[in-house]
Chain A
Amino acid sequence: MADMLFLAASLLLVLTTAGLFVLWRRGRDADRLLTIQLLGSGCIAVLLLLAVAMGEASGLDVVLLLALLAALAACGYRAAIGQAGRSRP
């Protein structure tokens, strides 16, 4: 069972990395931040799988924190855009 979960986690990691690599080479900031969101949700899923596969109960706390921080990244980006819009559009 654990082997299957490890396999699923590594598959997901490869998928996320591929998306990250392709989209990182595009120019716009919004797309880059979207790849960070993809990385965020992908890592949430990977860590969930790993926490269950390794039987680490504390892994779930890390996932909870990551879910919170992934959301804050986009809010920070939006706040930065808002400031730039006021001073230097």
Chain B
Amino acid sequence: MNMLADIFTGLFVFSGILFFAAGALGLVRLPDTLSRIHALAKADNLGLALIVIGLLPQAPDVLAGVKMVAIWLLAQLASGAVAQVMAEAAQMENMAGEDLQHGGGVLHPAGSGVVQTDTRGDLRA
């Protein structure tokens, strides 16, 4: 029984690491920021979930097991929110980059501010 639990743990932990590897590889290889966010948010959470499931049979008591599941739930919620926040920030950075290319930029802070507001309005309309 104990050996069965150990085999279960090993299987799930190492498949979780495989997903972490996929997430890290995607983060390094994917071309733009939005797809990197995608790789990070999905693969890493699946890896964490597999590791938590694998560790559950090794938990010393029920409280530790509940805590592990709570950690996974918190990480899941946080990563969903973080993906949204980061995507929005990346979009704003892109707009600032386009703004710089159009000849505004850091030398004319007031003028480029107006341009950026216009661009954002166009994109949302």
Contacts and interface: CB of A to CB of B under 8 A. Distances in A.
A81 B71 contact: no
Given A48-B52, A71-B82, A88-B106, A38 B89 contact: no
A30 B34 CA distance: 10
B71 A19 contact: no
Q: Which label, helix, strand, loop or mixed, suits the secondary structure of the B interface?
A: helix
A19 B78 contact: no
Given A60-B64, A89-B116, A71 B78 contact: yes
Interface residues of B, number: 54
A15 B23 CA distance: 10
Contact of A15 (B24, B48, B59, B99): B24
Interface of A: 1, 4-5, 8, 11-12, 15-16, 18-19, 22-23, 28-31, 33-35, 37-38, 41-42, 44-45, 48-49, 52, 55, 57, 60-61, 63-64, 67-68, 70-71, 74-75, 77-78, 81-82, 85-89
